Each structure stands twice: as C-alpha cells, then as structure tokens.
Amino acid sequence: MKIKRYLAKDARGAMERIKKDMGPEAIILETRRVRQKGFLGLFKRRLVEITASIDDNSKNQCQEYLPFNLNGHYNNKKMETEIQELKCMVQQMTTLPGEKEKEKEGGPLRHLQQKLIDNEIDNDIAQKLTEEIKRDFPDKNLTEVQLYSLINDKIGRRLKFSNNNNGRHVYCFVGPTGVGKTTTLAKLAANYSIFKEKKVGLITIDTYRIGAVEQLKNYAQLIDIPLEVVMSPAELKQSLDKMKDFDVVMVDTAGRNAKNSLHLNELKAFTEVLSEATTFLVLSLTTKSKDLIKITDKFKATNYNSLIFTKLDETDTYGSILNIACHTTLPVAFLSTGQKVPEDFEVASEERLTNLILGVGL
C-alpha cells in the first residue's frame, strides 16, 4: 500500500494532485488544515494537508472496506458527514471564477488589515491603509517585511507632532475626569524646571475636586516653583500677567464630563483667556475608542490644539492613537507611561507611535 501526504493551498488543488499521482481509485485517509510559520505570525495562510493511499495489487478487493475514493463512492456511513463537509468546502472554493487568484493577491493584505483591527484601529482606517498599498503596488507579491514597512510609513504620514522647543510657552491642560491631567502637568513642569532649567510657573483653576489644589501645591513645593490659584477668567488673566516674564506657564483645569455642556461652557470661559496658549486635550488610552471620539468632539468648545495620551501602562493596544489623530488631525505632543513624576513621561515621536499602534517592540 502506498501512503502519501499532499500539501496545497486548497482542497481542490490537493485532490487534483492526488488524482494525477495515484489515479481515481486513491483513498482519502485524513484531511486537515495546517498553519505555516510567518513573519510575526501575521500573514501566512493555512494550507490543506490530505493523506491519501492506494494498493495497486488489491484495490478492487478491499474497496468495500475503504472510506471512499476519488470517484466519489464511499462505503463507511460514519464518514458520510465528513465527506459532505469536504465537498462543500471544495465547492465554496471554486464557486466564483478567479476567486483563487483574488485571494492569492489579497490574502496577506487581508491578514494585515485584520491585525490592524485587532490593535483597535478603526475598520475604515484599516481598510483605507491596506487599499492604498494595493493601489500603489497592484501587480507585486509583497513580502511580509515589505508590507510592514509600507504600513509603518502610511501610519506615520497620518501622524503630526508638536514643536515646542523655542520661545515662551503657555500650556493649558483640559480633559475628562480621571485621565491624569494634574500628574501630567507636574511631569512636564519638572522636566522644564529641573532638566531644561527654565523659569516655570503654575496656575490652577481646579477648585472643584477635593484635594486638587493641595496636590498641585505639593508638586510645586517639590519642584520649587510658584503656584497661583484662580477662581475666575479675570483672575486667570491677572495671574498670566504676573508671570509674563516666565519661560513656561502651565494652567491646570478641572476634569469635565464631556456630556455636561454647562461645565464645558464654564471651562470655555477660561480657555478664551488663553487664546494664544497651547491647549492640550489629555486622553486616557484605557477609554474605549468610540468614547474617545465623542470626547474630542465635545471638548472642541475649549479650542484645544494638541493631544496628550496617558495610561499607556494600563493597556496593551494603542490603535486609538491613530483613530484620534485621524479624527482630529491634530498633533500628538506627549505620552504618559505611568504614575512616577517626572520619569514616566516622554515626547511623542513617529517611531514610538507607529510601533505602539502596530503592537511592535512594546
């Protein structure tokens, strides 16, 4: 008896090889799908492995004991269901003309698109990214390394970054409750004061949250920088005038519920005084992507013009960064990676963000 395994991209291809090699009386012993090893385990499609046998000397004598042959006859009723499933699978693969060629071209890209979606990139964005690659390279069978390089570049082109290196800065921090605005402000203040040796001043209008002022006072004392507490837009303007000779002035605000338009309008009255400031919308990456989109829309009243993402250490997927960057078309300035002040803080860069978004090198 001759037994042999056949690997093919689909069942039809394997069956054709068996029939050509062993003839129509060959017996199917086993059918299964096997996975290939691929770059980062992303792009390799599964193959069909079929084990077949034939006994040239006694195939007619033993036919009644065999499951089925390639002419479609079978004697073992227990195999009937499996056989019918196999036939359906083959039929599905061959129903549409040219489908096999289409899958050959689009398979790796579809795998890539699914990987992007798994990393919580919006479906529409993931589809646009892969469609751009297909449009730019319609006739090329791209390797996995080439695909990764192309998608990396296309994501990078959708990201913008703030340039905060020169001149006097006034920074305002707005955002929902609990995203870490005050801690983020303290990290940036320490960075400018201690490491860049800039003259830094702090202002807070967060008089709603219990202990908020005390928390910022503690940070100010540790860093040895002045703190002003204001209760109205007019007082905010006065404090800004007091600090007009400072290199950097940072304004902390109370966290606001994006659904509360009254509170957002109160905040807007303060941010209107800061018309020339860089106003950061601070967002937590532990928030659902759809909710982040809603927050960015609701906080437009504050005229924010840059983004900060926090709590990177509390999640494993970072596709929301790309979703928000595409939705707002605004630059990403900083990333907060933990609770430590000032260590868990970094300036956003294209390489860092694309790696996060693609889930590489975390």
The owner of tokens 């599964």 is 46
What pLDDT does 90 receive? 53
pLDDT of 147 over the 90 cut: no
Q: Pick from 42, 76, 231, 218: which is nearest to 145 by CA?
A: 42
What pLDDT does 58 receive? 46
Convert the pLDDT of each residue in 306-352 to its tens digit.
999 999 999 999 999 999 999 999 999 999 988 888 788 899 999 99
What average pLDDT is seen over the chain? 81
Q: Residue 56's pLDDT band (boundaries 50, 70, 90)?
A: low
Q: Residue 207's pLDDT band (boundaries 50, 70, 90)?
A: low
pLDDT of 236 over the 50 cut: yes
What pLDDT does 95 receive? 44
DSSP string, 182-240: HHHHHHHHHIIIIIS---EEEEE---SSTTHHHHHHHHHHHHT--EEE-SSHHHHHHHH
Of residues 32 and 127, the one with the higher pLDDT is 127
Q: Which phi and psi angles does 224 have, rounded to 5°?
A: 65, 55
pTM of the model: 0.68
Q: Which phi and psi angles does 284 have, rounded to 5°?
A: -90, 130
pLDDT of 116 over the 60 cut: yes
Of residues 268 and 40, the one with the higher pLDDT is 268
Task: Specify whether the CB–CB gap between 212 and 204 falls below 8 A.
Answer: yes
